[in-house]
Structure 1
Amino acid sequence: MLDQDSPINVALLAVPEVTASALFGMFDLFSSPGRDWPFIVKGEAGQQRMRPYVVARSHSGFRAANGIWVKPDFAFGDCPPPQIVCIPDFFINPGDSVAGLYEPEARWLRRTHEDGALLASACSGAVLLGEAGLLINCEATIHWGYVTTLSNNYPGVRVRLDRSLVLSGEAQRIVMAGGGSSWQDLALYLIARFVGLKEAMEVAKVYMLQWHDLGQQPFASLMSLRQTVDAVINSCQKWLALNYKTRAPVAAMVALSGLSERSFIRRFTKATGMTPLAYAHALRIEEAKQMLETTDLTIEAIANETGYEDASFFSRLFHRETGLTAAHYRLRFGSLRQALKHT
């Protein structure tokens, strides 16, 4: 990980056949770490941790495969040195050879890799890694429709369709993601690897992404935990954020507020849109989710750490609030953390 004062350069390689959704989607995701999470939860953008830019063989703009105009930020000759190079998927006929069509891109990829950059591809973007000669005797992954494009044209490549993410090469500086929307998984993995797991989780929540196939419900409670403008209630929110394990949090906040219980509940509900007890549960569930994402604590231990002596009650509450069991939530979000363990 680099210092926050030194944004990580991420070059997004564009060719005229590029899929614009992947190109600009990755641009958005790589722009997010450090910036968007504080804006969502506090209303003020933070410092951007990554610096994405579009690079191509020349400065000339072109129409992407779906007709969207692409204007590169840099050409190969004046591109800032990247720590990461991402190759979005692009349209080629499955099985066809592209030998010689992308020689400038292949040369630039070889040079940046020799200079220490990590190269990452999404879907058919792996073909350009093959053109650069970087997949010799390596494992790889690609969209299932393009397996023959790799296996027929780049000897020694071992395509792994059973894995959504494949790491290859010296120091695992070649990363490939499979088909479909795999560029989202790829971006989250690279954010976690270069910036941090916490920031990757924040980006996933901001954009309501998941490592595989979750819906929106696991993220829903985040918006309800924003600080209010009511000074009395705000002070109670801040107290609860530090003392959510307290056995009787509502009674403690009533005492802190100096209001009657009835007045406090009415004022808290008006300010936050939630009853004090529901708010306390939502805060505890958010803390539990963080622990499930980032630790190996047992579910019973997490229940206790978040203020629930009855683990079965915690499990029922977690399922009700997120639509997932705690074990399922860990399985889905923990897979990103597990992938990093093998880096």
Structure 2
Amino acid sequence: MAVGAGQHQSHPGKKPDISAMLKLPAPALTVALLAVPDTTASTLFGLYDLLVGARRDWQMLVHRVEVEPPVRALIVSRDGRPLKAANDVEIHPHAGFADPIDADVVVVTDLAIPPWQPVGDRYDVEAAWMRRQHEAGAMLASACSGAVLLARTGLLAGLEGTSHWGYCEALQREHPDTRWQPDKALVATGTGQRLVMAGSGTSWHALALFLIARYIGAEEAMQLARLNLLDWNATSPLAYAAMTRTGQVADPVIARCQEWAAQHYDSEAPVAAMVQMSGLPERTFQRRFVQATGLAPLDYIHTLRLEEAKQMLESGDAPVEAVALEVGYQDASFFGRLFRRKIGLTPAQYRRRFGGLARRLAGAASEPPYTVATPPSTSRFSPST
């Protein structure tokens, strides 16, 4: 809901007076939201509005009284000067690193950078500032791909971490001393749990609720969730993820097997068929397949089957047993257990959660003036896509 959206002075306009803000009565919690040129404005301002709306919006709408929010959110950049966000929205920070912010929490929101392009040293000034804030007692937090910058502080070494599922593989290569968990919506770790990471997409909602619950109170966090219709649950972010490892590979033998698997994943013994097709000894095939795709052949087949099952559950009403059989599983109970382990939901839960939304979106897209282009007839699992 974000009742207070647009009421703060961090959107385009005159730069706010940080000295005046810091002279106001001290709130229960001061949160510094770090802004850099790769910041996405939606998450930065969305998190800002959620935080400053705690208590204030509930009291206004439910009890018809005006109260001061217990959270002071400050948007902070390296020099405090206006900057353009990744989507060209102009950000007017409240403060720069030289200002006496005295933050309880520092948050780096998501960064619009490709996961395969290392951030390098271009934000090492920000990483050093974050380390200083942490040494002074502040909690450090990241939302989604903001973990890329949080990891640059070096504070995650030997700990668990999370980020958007599309970034965790690259983060694991860049920071192998951190145990990256793409299936977790929120991770709190380190001494005193003063390092907090929210995972994929809108998991920053969970981050906002976590901060309010920890510093202000659980009931205040519940009020914020009710008011904004937020759902903080154990759903795995991987439930939202499409396959990411079916791209074309350098090994032509394995690529040929991938193309076959894209059309025949529902066959009775697909791994044995691929071994035979490859003309390689089984152990050699297994090794080359893992090198080329990052997955064992059987895991690859399971992933293809589960992606097809997700599509069927979203778009149709066939019984779960029929879906299992259609994608290649004779044993529906095994299918259900595998689906739950890999996706984080049972097939029935997945259908309830995403089926209605998928149908509503499809219906909206088909209404004039919107049109839906007919996709090519190739399989969506083709390595060339």
TM-score (norm 2): 0.53
Distance 1:79 1:146, change over 3 A: farther
1:103 CA drift (Å): 1.2
1:79 CA drift (Å): 4.2
The alignment's C-alpha RMSD in Å is 1.8
- Match among 164, 170, 183 for residue 204 of structure 2: 183
Amino acid at match of 1:71: H
Distance 1:63 1:131, change over 3 A: same
Amino acid at match of 1:60: R
1:207 CA drift (Å): 1.3
SS of 1:209's partner is: coil
**Is 1:18 matched with 2:39?**
yes
- Match among 79, 83, 92 for residue 104 of structure 2: 83
Q: In structure 2, how many angstroms separate the alpha carbons of the residues matched to 1:103 and 1:79?
A: 20
SS of 1:23's partner is: helix
Deviations 1:40-60 (A, max 9, x none): 112222221000010010122
Q: In structure 2, how many angstroms separate the alpha carbons of the residues matched to 1:209 and 1:163?
A: 17
2:173 is aligned to: 152
1:142 is aligned to: 163
Amino acid at match of 1:29: L
1:200 CA drift (Å): 0.4
**Is 1:163 matched with 2:188?**
no
**Is 1:94 matched with 2:115?**
yes
* Aligned partners of 1:76 and 1:108 also within 8 Å: yes
SS of 1:77's partner is: coil
**Is 1:132 matched with 2:160?**
no
* Residues 1-343 of structure 1 mapped to structure 2, 5 A cutoff: 6-212=27-233
* Aligned partners of 1:55 and 1:79 also within 8 Å: no
* Aligned partners of 1:15 and 1:56 also within 8 Å: yes
Deviations 1:31-83 (A, max 9, x none): 01221111011222222100001001012211111121101110011041100
SS of 1:54's partner is: strand
1:212 CA drift (Å): 4.0
Q: Identity across aligned pairs (percent)?
A: 44
Where structure 1 has 5 or more consecutive residues not aligned to the other structure, the ranges are 215-327, 329-343
* Aligned partners of 1:167 and 1:176 also within 8 Å: yes
Q: In structure 1, how many angstroms separate the alpha carbons of the residues matched to 2:151 and 2:26?
A: 35
SS of 2:187's partner is: strand
* Aligned partners of 1:95 and 1:148 also within 8 Å: no
Q: In structure 1, how many angstroms separate the alpha carbons of the residues matched to 2:169 and 2:119?
A: 13
SS of 1:46's partner is: coil
2:272 is aligned to: none
Q: In structure 2, how many angstroms separate the alpha carbons of the residues matched to 1:149 and 1:134?
A: 18
1:255 is aligned to: none
Q: In structure 1, how many angstroms separate the alpha carbons of the residues matched to 2:139 and 2:228?
A: 24
1:191 CA drift (Å): 0.5
1:171 CA drift (Å): 0.8
Deviations 1:226-246 (A, max 9, x none): xxxxxxxxxxxxxxxxxxxxx
Q: In structure 2, how many angstroms separate the alpha carbons of the residues matched to 1:36 and 1:128?
A: 32
Give the paired residue count.
212
1:160 CA drift (Å): 1.0
* Aligned partners of 2:212 and 2:221 also within 8 Å: yes
Q: In structure 1, how many angstroms separate the alpha carbons of the residues matched to 2:73 and 2:186?
A: 21
